[in-house]
């Protein structure tokens, strides 16, 4: 089985290279991201392996089908960048890794919250220069505060446990509430208006796109903290920036961003940043942007490689494709 692996970074190879031997899968690692121009690299491969910012839209899927590709392997949980209908039309199963380490992402969401609240990133820069002044670094106790969690799936639940561990009251919202969870589900407006911190853990769909926009920001408490480790388009960034500039928001931690493509996962340090919204966000003292690294732990990377290769195996053996997206 030959797989074309797009958007390869050195850390992707660690587990995929060693584990592929066990599964007798031959992987061609391409540094290029998948898009209409790079799709021809998949010629001669039965599968392609793609990630969150690859372009797997209809024209790309059509091209892959024309090249004889038989399966699309997403080495991630989200699949909002894949045209599933186009793949189904060509009878190409799209498989994903539904769960690898929800804790990895939840722990990172908490790391973002703790950082923006207690400004450890600013303290680090100061003390490296032996500036031991703590003026401007004051935060808030999390204990006793209210956390609003949107999306109570695997990551949302892991986040709720962590937040409860800090002694926070939880308000939750999910389109499909989980009756087995010991948590108070409320309507979105109440969550927005009563939460001291809001953490997003729902997928990006047509319903959740811009779930945080001017309207929802308007009803939030002054000084609210917003954490997004899910998908950039859950937040209308322009509106978020406006609220930040109006001093409405206490702090923001973003591991994801609306316009990640071509910027995230790349070293742009020698370039002039063309994305003015991102440049402005990064310049604000109460905003911490990270480059979609919530999942990035050794445990998660290993699990991603194994599940992806298991997906190939199930296909090869004609078994039920349990991780197929339909």
| Candidate list 295, 307, 308, 323; residue touching ligand NAI; CB under 6 A | 295
Q: Respond yes or no: is residue 260 known to be catalytic.
A: yes
Name the segment binding ligand NAI (CB under 6 A); options: 67-75, 127-135, 225-233, 280-288: 225-233
- Residue of 45, 231, 236, 258 marked catalytic: 231
- Residue of 292, 299, 310, 320 marked catalytic: 292
- Measured from the CB of residue 126, what is the shortest distance to ligand NAI in angstroms? 28
Count the neighbouring beta carbons within 10 Å of the beta carbon of residue 172.
22
As a whole number of angstroms, the distance between CA 129 and CA 148 comes to 37
| Candidate list 20, 81, 152, 323; residue touching ligand NAI; CB under 6 A | 152
Name the segment binding ligand NAI (CB under 6 A); options: 24-32, 41-49, 128-136, 288-296: 288-296
* The token pair that represents 301 in the structure block: 């990377």
- Residue of 260, 280, 298, 320 marked catalytic: 260
Backbone angles phi, psi at 93, to 5 degrees: -70, 140
Closer to ligand NAI by CB, 69 or 162: give it: 162
Binding mask 95-114 toward ligand NAI (x if CB under 6 A, else -) reads ----x--x--x---------
User: DSSP assignment, residue 212?
Assistant: B
Among candidate residues 4, 8, 10, 14, the one with its CA nearest the CA of residue 303: 14
- Measured from the CB of residue 83, what is the shortest distance to ligand NAI in angstroms? 17
Burial of 153 (C-beta count, 10 Å sphere; 0-12/13-18/19+): middle
Rule CB under 6 A: say whether 119 interacts with ligand NAI.
no
* The token pair that represents 6 in the structure block: 């797009």
Question: What DSSP assignment string belongs to 217-284?
Answer: HHHSPTTEEEEE-S-GGGB-HHHHHHHHHTT-EEEEEES--TT-TTTTTS--TTS----HHHHHHHHS
| Candidate list 45, 75, 154, 236; residue touching ligand NAI; CB under 6 A | 154
Closer to ligand NAI by CB, 38 or 115: give it: 115
Rule CB under 6 A: say whether 176 interacts with ligand NAI.
yes
Rule CB under 6 A: say whether 156 interacts with ligand NAI.
yes
- Measured from the CB of residue 175, what is the shortest distance to ligand NAI in angstroms? 4
Among candidate residues 219, 229, 224, 220, the one with its CA nearest the CA of residue 256: 229
In the chain, beta strands by DSSP E: 2-5, 26-29, 47-50, 71-74, 94-95, 146-150, 169-173, 184-185, 197-200, 224-228, 249-254, 287-289
| Candidate list 207, 267, 317, 320; residue touching ligand NAI; CB under 6 A | 207
Q: In which element (H, E) is residue 72 found?
A: strand 71-74
Question: Virtual CA dihedral for 201, 205, 206, 209, nearest 10 degrees?
Answer: 40
Structure-token match 């990006």, residue found: 204
| Candidate list 41, 107, 153, 302; residue touching ligand NAI; CB under 6 A | 153
299: phi > 0 → left, psi -120 to 50 → alpha, else beta; which? alpha
Residue nearest to ligand NAI (CB): 153
Q: Respond yes or no: is residue 140 known to be catalytic.
A: no
Q: Respond yes or no: is residue 292 known to be catalytic.
A: yes
Strand partners, 27: 3
| Candidate list 4, 77, 226, 287; residue touching ligand NAI; CB under 6 A | 77
- Measured from the CB of residue 125, what is the shortest distance to ligand NAI in angstroms? 24
Helices 102-118 and 154-165: angle between axes, nearest 10 degrees: 50
Binding mask 14-53 toward ligand NAI (x if CB under 6 A, else -) reads ----------------------------------------
Are 36 and 55 a contacting pair, CB within 8 Å?
yes
Rule CB under 6 A: say whether 292 interacts with ligand NAI.
yes
- List the catalytic residues: 231, 260, 292
Residues engaged in binding ligand NAI (CB under 6 A): 77-78, 99, 102, 105, 150-156, 173-176, 201-203, 205, 207-208, 229-231, 255-256, 292, 294-295
């Amino acid at each position: 089985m030959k797989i074309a692996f797009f958007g390869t970074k050195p850390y992707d190879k660690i587990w995929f290279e060693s584990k592929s031997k066990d599964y007798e899968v031959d992987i061609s690692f391409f540094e290029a991201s998948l898009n209409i121009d790079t799709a021809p690299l998949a010629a001669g491969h039965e599968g392609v392996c793609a990630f969150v910012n690859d372009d797997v839209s209809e024209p790309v899927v059509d091209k892959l089908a024309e090249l004889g590709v038989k399966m699309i392997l997403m080495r991630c949980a989200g699949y909002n960048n894949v045209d599933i209908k186009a793949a189904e039309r060509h009878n190409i199963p799209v498989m994903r890794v539904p769960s690898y380490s929800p804790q990895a992402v939840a722990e990172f969401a908490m790391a973002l919250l703790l950082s923006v609240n207690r400004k450890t990133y600013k303290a680090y820069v100061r003390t490296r220069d032996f500036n031991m002044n703590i003026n401007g670094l004051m935060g808030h106790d999390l204990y006793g505060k209210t956390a609003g969690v949107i999306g109570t799936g695997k990551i949302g639940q892991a986040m709720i446990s962590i937040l409860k561990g800090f002694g926070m009251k939880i308000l939750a919202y999910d389109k499909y509430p989980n009756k087995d969870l010991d948590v108070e589900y409320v309507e979105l407006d109440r969550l927005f208006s009563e939460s001291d911190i809001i953490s997003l853990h729902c997928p990006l769909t047509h319903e959740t796109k811009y779930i945080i926009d001017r309207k929802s920001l308007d009803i939030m408490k002054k000084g609210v903290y917003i954490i997004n480790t899910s998908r950039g388009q859950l937040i209308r960034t322009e509106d978020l920036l406006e609220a930040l500039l109006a001093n409405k928001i206490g702090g923001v931690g973003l591991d994801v961003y609306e316009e990640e493509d071509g910027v995230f996962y790349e070293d742009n340090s020698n370039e002039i940043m063309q994305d003015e919204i991102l440049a402005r966000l990064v310049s604000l003292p109460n905003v911490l942007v990270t480059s979609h690294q919530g999942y990035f732990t050794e445990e998660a990377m290993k699990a991603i490689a194994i599940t992806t290769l298991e997906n190939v195996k199930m296909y090869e053996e004609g078994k039920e494709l349990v991780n197929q997206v339909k």
